[in-house]
Structure 1
Amino acid sequence: MVVRMLMMRFKRRFSSALLFGLLAVISLLILLTFCHTPCEVGGEREINISELSNNNVELIFATNLLIVVMSAPTHFDVRNVIRETWANTLPNGASVRFVVGRKNLPEQTLENVKQENKVNRDLLLLDDIEESYSSLTKKLLSTLKWVDKHVKYNFLMKVDEDSFVRVENILEELLAKPQEKLYWGFFDGRAHVKRSGKWSEKDFVLCDRYLPYALGGGYVISKDLVTYVAKNADILKQLNNEDVSLGTWLGPLDINRIHDVNFDTEYKSRGCYNSYLVTHKKSADELQELQKNLGMLGRLCAKENRVRLSYNYNWNDLPTKCCERTDPAIP
């Protein structure tokens, strides 16, 4: 009797162990089938072929916030400084791509760019863009079209190479921002159209001032606005200034334009404030110093300072009266 009870208990335990092992094997097979590539890479998720969208576009990766850095092909050192500073440890939900035009590049430069991308896997190489100042708007448009086709995301942030971005803070702020029709940055609405010089716009015939636009050191737009631009790319007027172009393209739309003084994105930095989300016109040394401050002091600025006054955009008055620099309390 005792022997029979022991035999029955052994069979039950053996069956449970066998069942557990069988389930583990099945789970492993499922995992290997549906996750050929890492599911999380630097805050972005690789897309499997089974996750392609309904219109059969080729999705490359998924992320909440995609930051595109407009970069020159030969600026290897600049990109490395960014990788070592604000883009070094990206929070989950954020990804960075350096946008480089590869059309007609010298053979050695192209090879260097390809090798760099093999190592870092963070370049967005545009086959149709030949790098020059006059092609910046075309480069932005091509970038938006590529992103709309190949990335699953919610927000896109465009920044320049000489900008410092507080990525984690941007993500936190986005939680309280409109999730659609968002155009967020530091706006100007009273700039005169330039008819000569590097930034001349001889084909801008809408009026004698530019339409309100977010300055290009850094701004954020939601996915639906990227899609709008991408879908209408063939009939959009391309101006010399890519940031003016985007403001003009979005001008007639009923969207959420949010002016934020914590975007220090003008042609000249306004100084240093710990509340800044992005700050522009920084040298490589200054980028490293800002990162060092965050690591050692827990704040962006060793000491806050002002170089020039800021302004809150007045959306209730005419654009020519939008941007009065009169309040020294504004960072």
Structure 2
Amino acid sequence: MPPEHRAFVALEARAYGDVLVLDCAESAEQGKTYTYFASLPAMLGSGGGDARPYDYVMKVDDDTFLRLDALVETLRAAPREDMYGGVGLPFHDREFPPFMLGMGYLLSWDLVEWIATSDMVRREAMGVEDMTTGKWLNMGNKAKNRVNIFPRMYDYKSAKGEDFLENTIGVHQLKQDLRWAHTLEHFNLTRLEPSSKLHRF
């Protein structure tokens, strides 16, 4: 990890305590996603109890803006077991899309535990990460509950208001700061409080 990344990761970890550091290469095709999912039960597990520590685990690209409130509301009605959710491809396969796009997808905790212990998954760890995750689940006859949230997660189109959906869960491909700014402004996350003495408009 380059020194500047190490410094920023350390600051994030100290500030929020929410950073997982994994011993793997940063690559979408070299098993990083397998390492992520397979490491979680040992890192976050319930300590030997029967209760699962989380209902779901999500993998999200770092160029995706995620509206957690909208995601949580959507998940209230979703199954808590054997569930795979995200933007399925093909988009209009509502029942059983073969895989969810890598911009962001969820697995129920039982599937994460299965990934951590499956020899087949370990052998098939390499490959394009989103398609490979779908392949594991399909080969293992898992994820019978598939939740396709298309079109509520989508790629950034422009700064125009009509290019953002009202019920958006996520916006992807925010690789430039200006795209992040447009997206955050659209969802009113940059508005300053006009009554503050520190803000002059």
Q: Structure 1 length as normaliser, TM-score? A: 0.45
Structure 1 residue 297 displacement after superposition: 11
1:167-206 aligned at under 5 Å gives the runs: 167-189=68-90
Q: How far apart, CA to CA, are the structure 1 residues paired with 2:10 and 2:190?
A: 37
> Which residue pairs with 1:274 in the alignment?
166
Whether the 8 Å contact between 1:184 and 1:219 is mirrored in structure 2 is yes
> Which residue pairs with 1:230 in the alignment?
116
- Residue identity opposite 1:241 in structure 2: V
Instruction: Sort the Cα spacing of 1:235 and 1:147 in 2 relative to 1 into closer, same or farther, 3 A.
Output: closer
For structure 2, the 5+ residue unaligned runs are 45-52, 92-96, 192-201
One of 172, 185, 188 as aligned partner of 1:292 = 185
Instruction: Sort the Cα spacing of 1:263 and 1:232 in 2 relative to 1 into closer, same or farther, 3 A.
Output: farther
Instruction: Sort the Cα spacing of 1:116 and 1:236 in 2 relative to 1 into closer, same or farther, 3 A.
Output: same
Kindly provide the CA deviation profile for residues 202-245 of structure 1, in whole angstroms up to 9, marking residues without a partner as x: xxxxxxxxx81000111121111111111115644123211011
Structure 1 residue 144 displacement after superposition: 0.9
> Which residue pairs with 2:107 in the alignment?
221
> Which residue pairs with 1:242 in the alignment?
129
Aligned length: 170
Q: How far apart, CA to CA, are the structure 2 residues paired with 1:258 and 1:115?
A: 35
Q: How far apart, CA to CA, are the structure 1 residues paired with 2:152 and 2:190?
A: 21
> Which residue pairs with 1:125 in the alignment?
21
Instruction: Sort the Cα spacing of 1:249 and 1:114 in 2 relative to 1 into closer, same or farther, 3 A.
Output: same
One of 125, 144, 168 as aligned partner of 1:255 = 144
Q: How far apart, CA to CA, are the structure 2 residues paired with 1:159 and 1:279?
A: 11
Structure 1 residue 269 displacement after superposition: 5.2
3-state SS in 2 of match to 1:279? strand
Q: How far apart, CA to CA, are the structure 2 residues paired with 1:265 and 1:109?
A: 28
> Which residue pairs with 1:322 in the alignment?
none
Q: CA RMSD of the aligned region, Å?
A: 2.9
Identity rate of aligned residues, in percent? 25
Instruction: Sort the Cα spacing of 1:265 and 1:232 in 2 relative to 1 into closer, same or farther, 3 A.
Output: farther
Instruction: Sort the Cα spacing of 1:219 and 1:265 in 2 relative to 1 into closer, same or farther, 3 A.
Output: farther
Structure 1 residue 109 displacement after superposition: 4.7
Whether the 8 Å contact between 1:269 and 1:279 is mirrored in structure 2 is no
Q: How far apart, CA to CA, are the structure 2 residues paired with 1:115 and 1:153?
A: 25
For structure 1, the 5+ residue unaligned runs are 1-104, 191-210, 299-331
Q: How far apart, CA to CA, are the structure 2 residues paired with 1:133 and 1:249?
A: 16
3-state SS in 2 of match to 1:217? strand
Structure 1 residue 180 displacement after superposition: 1.1
Q: Structure 2 length as normaliser, TM-score? A: 0.71
